[in-house]
């Protein structure tokens, strides 16, 4: 466009110079004068064009400078606004951090109060058991073999000295085998550091009413471990065993419920687990306490299943969302009838429809104690989505550094030496 305009102007300048020279020639000027007039007029036109172009160029440059200044002013204004927003954001973050710190401090303080009260109850219980003159409080202890007496004392000392470790075993989704949950286990250690397996201490802990104390420690630690996993943005949950003794303890449960109320944001990550027999033996108090936990958003799991002929509607009403069935039991329940694979306890139901049936009631089946790849193939044929067992990972003690964050207060530990736990 600029080239066309320049060509037109040049043509106009030539015509003007030619007109002037012809006018002079008609007025009687010599040809030499006419040529000189033509060249002079042409030079004058181009000089005027240059002056005019410089004027327009200067105006355009000044306009550009004004535009840059205006943009710079707008940019400075935006920078000031961003700086103000960043300052406000930093103040909000600082206030939020302070609020979280205060909330965490209150939570730890509340946890210490609960553990102190639990410690007092444990000490009273242990002192009653250790009085030789009180035959009534000793109960079956007087008829116990010396080996049983020694084992009971080992359990009592392990609890008193806080030699209770937390073990976690992964629960994986199938067929991906991605860890989505952990199940927590408690393990006691004697004074030499040897780990006591459940088969050893359950036989004496349950009759003497010590399982509630073990469960309570496990419950508090599970909450703290889930809190730590949440900080690491690890979206996994923990199955935590809870006994009927804990659910029916009118002195302990209100305090525990208050603690869970303060941690109800973990409702999707903490699943309380109890055995099928315990679930069927629960009374009105235990059922009411389960309902109060469910009202906070927490759910339940049923393990130690011995009969698959279950009232799933009753489980759904009690907010049971998971059903754990041992792999060996599940395989033994399968039988063929009239060319169809069915479950012996539910002969009218195809085995492949069992998981679909439980899902209608909001219950997921988890096959536990999986030990072989052959069992995994059979589980997948049954459309079961979760597995647990040594094939996917054995129970492993969590690291001391993690466990120390879930410890009760130091005066509850009594300075017992700790065995280094395996990482997980």
Assess whether 13 and 116 both reside in one domain.
Answer: no
Average pLDDT over residues 3-24: 74
Instruction: Say what the pLDDT of residue 419 is.
Output: 33
User: In the chain, how many domains are there?
Assistant: 2
For the record, the structure tokens of 242 come out as 């809870």
183, 172 Cβ separation under 8 angstroms: no
**69: containing domain:** 2-76
Q: Do both 216 and 111 map to the same domain?
A: yes
Mean pLDDT taken over the chain: 77
pLDDT 10s digits, 286-331:
999 999 999 999 999 999 999 998 999 999 999 999 999 999 999 9
Q: Which residues sit opposite 179 in a β-bridge?
A: 172
Distances (CA, A) of 416 to 10, 130, 161, 191: 105, 20, 6, 8
Question: At which of 76, 94, 115 does a domain end?
Answer: 76
Cα angle 91, 94, 97 (rounded to 5 degrees) comes to 150
pTM here is: 0.61
- In a domain? residue 159: yes
Alpha helices in 309-397 (DSSP H): 312-317, 327-333, 354-360, 373-381
3-state secondary structure of 190: coil
Tell me, yes or no, whether 213 and 319 share the same domain.
yes
Q: Is the pLDDT of residue 24 over 50?
A: yes
In a domain, 379, yes or no: yes
pLDDT score, position 132: 42
Examine residue 71 and state whether it is found in any structural domain, yes or no.
yes
| CATH number of 290's domain | 3.20.20.450
Of all residues in the chain, the percent with pLDDT exceeding 90 is: 29
The dihedral of CA 115, 120, 121, 126: what is its sign? positive
Residue 263 and residue 223 in contact, taking contact as beta carbons nearer than 8 Å: yes
69 and 126 part of one domain: no
Average pLDDT (178-189) is 87
C-alpha 142/C-alpha 112 separation (Å) is: 35
Measured CA to CA, the distance from residue 123 to residue 13 in angstroms comes to 115
Q: Are residues 386 and 308 in the same domain?
A: yes
Enumerate the β-bridge partners of residue 322.
Answer: 301, 364
Q: C-alpha 361: how far from its chain's center?
A: 25
């Amino acid at each position: 466009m600029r080239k066309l305009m320049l060509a037109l102007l040049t043509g106009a300048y030539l015509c003007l110079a030619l007109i002037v020279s012809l006018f002079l020639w008609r007025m009687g000027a010599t040809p030499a004068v006419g040529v000189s007039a033509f060249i002079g007029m042409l030079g004058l036109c181009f000089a005027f064009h240059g002056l005019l172009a410089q004027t327009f160029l200067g105006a355009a440059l000044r306009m550009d400078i004004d535009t840059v200044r205006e943009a710079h002013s707008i940019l400075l204004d935006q920078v000031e606004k961003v700086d103000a927003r960043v300052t406000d954001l930093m103040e909000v973050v600082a206030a939020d951090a302070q609020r979280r710190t205060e909330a965490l401090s209150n939570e730890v303080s509340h946890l210490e109060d609960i553990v102190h009260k639990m410690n007092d109850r444990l000490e009273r219980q242990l002192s009653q058991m250790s009085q030789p003159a009180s035959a009534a409080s000793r109960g079956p202890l007087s008829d116990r073999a010396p080996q049983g007496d020694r084992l009971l004392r080992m359990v009592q000392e392990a609890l008193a000295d806080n030699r209770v470790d937390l073990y976690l075993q992964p629960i994986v989704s199938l067929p991906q085998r991605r860890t989505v949950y952990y199940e927590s286990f408690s393990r006691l250690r004697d004074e030499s550091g040897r780990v006591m397996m459940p088969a050893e201490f359950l036989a004496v802990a349950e009759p003497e009413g010590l399982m509630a104390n073990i469960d309570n420690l496990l419950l508090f630690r599970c909450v703290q471990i889930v809190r730590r996993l949440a900080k690491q943005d690890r979206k996994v949950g923990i199955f935590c065993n809870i006994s009927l003794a804990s659910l029916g303890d009118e002195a302990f449960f209100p305090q525990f419920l208050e603690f869970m109320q303060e941690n109800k944001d973990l409702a999707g990550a903490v699943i309380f687990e109890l055995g099928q027999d315990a679930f069927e033996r629960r009374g009105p108090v235990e059922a009411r306490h389960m309902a109060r936990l469910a009202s906070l958003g927490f759910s339940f799991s049923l393990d130690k299943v011995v009969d698959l002929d279950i009232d799933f509607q009753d489980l759904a009403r009690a907010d049971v969302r998971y059903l754990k069935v041992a792999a060996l039991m599940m395989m033994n329940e399968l039988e063929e009838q009239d060319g169809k694979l069915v479950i012996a306890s539910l002969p009218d139901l195809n085995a492949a429809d069992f998981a679909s049936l439980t899902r209608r009631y909001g219950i997921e089946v988890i096959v536990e104690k999986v030990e072989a790849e052959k069992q995994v193939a059979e589980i997948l044929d049954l459309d079961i989505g979760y597995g647990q067992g040594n094939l996917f990972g054995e129970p492993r003690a969590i690291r001391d550094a993690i466990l120390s964050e879930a410890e009760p207060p130091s005066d509850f530990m009594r300075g017992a030496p700790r065995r280094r736990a395996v990482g997980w």
